[in-house]
A and B are shown apart, each in its own frame.
Chain A
Amino acid sequence: MKPVLNGFPWIGHHLSLVFDKLGVHLLIAGIALAVAIAIALPIGVWLGHVHRGSFAAINISNVGRALPSLAVIAIAIGIVGLGRNTLILALVVLAAPVVLTNAYVAVDTVDRDVVDAARGMGLRDRDVLWRVELPLALPLLFAGIRTAAVYVVATVPLGALTGTDGGLGDIIVNQASYRLEGVVGAAICVAALAIVIDALFAGVQRISTPRGLRGQIDFAAVQTAAAGNPQEEGTPP
């Protein structure tokens, strides 16, 4: 029990180190999440908009969710070698599927009557997407981004296991330098970070919901719509 309790004061005594590693941690996670969103979101939204490729969009996430994170990092290292970019590449591969599938399901499941009404009112295709489908899709779309964000933040430490930058993971795997207190302290920081990021994105999800939809949505239930099954959720690394 003692080393666990000693983890807390350790954090207090090593704040500058913790913030240093936290910065790297968030930088790596941020880049990976941004790239994953930049790639997966437009594809998912477009597929949902044209209501095509449901088989692919849903199975990508099923396969993506099944991929063991450390195995993907290992294979990425085998292909491109050790380095921070390898870790980012692996994180993008792991995070993109959930973003893509949620974006697809979010746009695809927007009430067809609403879309038809918008077209009937004379909106152009682009306006239907931007002014009708996307606003209505936002909660579910952000649910995917939220899952991906937590996943990425939680997976960065694995980089340290594989000999590259791992943000706070650098401390977690280095008991020789930081002793058990440091290891546990950093582990507590990572755990807290994941919970904070989850809460933060839950807030963004709530704010981004069009006012008319608020109150109708059970945010606890709108986690991930992977495979069109509301009971499913992303994998933690």
Chain B
Amino acid sequence: MIIADTVIPNFGGGAHSCVRENRGFCWSWVQDNWNSVLWPAVRQHVELTAIAIVIGFVIAFWLALLAHRRRGLEAPITVSTGVLYTIPSLALFQILVGFSFLGLNRLTVEIALVSYTLLILFRNTLEGLRSVPADVREAALGMGLTRRQVLTRVELPLALPAIVAGLRIATVTVISLATVAAFIDDEGLGSPIFRAIQSNVFKTELFAAGGLAVILALLADGLLVLAQRLVTPWARRQRA
């Protein structure tokens, strides 16, 4: 051991040799590359996720309102979004790339990411709306509220827990899939992961980028749980 230590040249900070020899996790590399590599990747990742969730939510919400009015629409929407949901991400990305008007860009990625949010957001929103007791709905109508007012003042607030639960699952799903998306469009936390594998399986970058993706997912999940509690204070009171 002592001999090995003397043979390996030491460039001041043991850090550099750590990177050069690819020994486990090198904190110094993370510090050196935080501003140039890791932080931009996190930001891109958050952007990709946010865009997909917002667009997916708008579409799914609208579909859920439609299905809420007309029961017959539920089955076809569930089946079609269900098929989209079941298609493995890598396959869907590549099938989309196969359409000649789409290329290796963010648009392709977002189409795929949005399509994965639809089933969960649609189903949860619809179930939330359906879970409103008929008595409550009738009481609201009896009080003279219009259908629109019943929806915005009674049904939607009561559906909120289910909607936020759906947003939670959709968000962690998209965060996970956005790492794979780097294969199509070189951005987000998947991009340092792929680079690390190409550069001789550079462990530090794998741990850092993989770890950040995990932290981001858990953080988003936790924040949405918190949001759920804040927007539905009555749920907690009931339980207590």
**Which positions in A face B, CB cutoff 8 Å?**
1-4, 7, 62-63, 65-72, 74-75, 77-78, 81-82, 150, 153-155, 157-158, 160-163, 169, 172-173, 180, 183-184, 186-188, 190-191, 194-195, 198, 220, 229, 231-233, 235-237
Contact = CB atoms under 8 A, between A and B. Distances in A.
B194 A220 contact: no
Contact of B213 (A70, A153, A173, A233): A70
Given A71-B189, A183-B94, A231-B165, A236 B179 contact: no
A194 B120 CA distance: 18
Contacts of A65: 169, 172
- Secondary structure of the A contact surface, majority rule: helix
Given A157-B91, A237-B89, A231 B209 contact: no
B193 A74 contact: yes
Contact of B91 (A62, A82, A180, A188): A188
Interface stretch (B9-17, B27-35, B80-88, B134-142): B80-88
A236 B123 contact: no
Contacts of A154: 86, 88-89
Interface in B170-212: 172-173, 175-177, 179-180, 183, 189-190, 193-194, 196-197, 201, 203, 206-207, 209-211
Contacts, number: 170
- Secondary structure of the B contact surface, majority rule: helix
B116 A236 contact: yes
B86 A194 contact: yes
Given A71-B213, A74-B209, A237-B89, A163 B197 contact: yes
Given A236-B116, A237-B89, A71 B210 contact: yes
Contacts of B214: 66-68, 71-72, 75
B194 to A, nearest CB: 7
Given A180-B97, A194-B86, 16 more contacts: A1-B99, A2-B100, A63-B218, A66-B218, A70-B213, A161-B183, A163-B197, A183-B97, A184-B95, A184-B98, A190-B87, A191-B88, A194-B91, A233-B120, A235-B169, A237-B89
Contact of B176 (A7, A68, A190): A68
A67 B217 contact: yes
Contacts of A74: 193, 196-197, 206-207, 209-210
A58 B88 CA distance: 26
Contacts of B89: 154, 236-237
B88 A194 contact: yes
A231 B131 CA distance: 12
Contacts of A69: 176, 179-180
B207 A191 contact: no
B162 interface: yes
B44 interface: no
15 contacts: A69-B176, A69-B179, A70-B176, A74-B193, A74-B210, A82-B197, A153-B88, A154-B88, A161-B183, A161-B194, A162-B197, A163-B197, A220-B78, A231-B127, A236-B177
B166 interface: yes
Contacts of B196: 74
Contacts of A160: 90
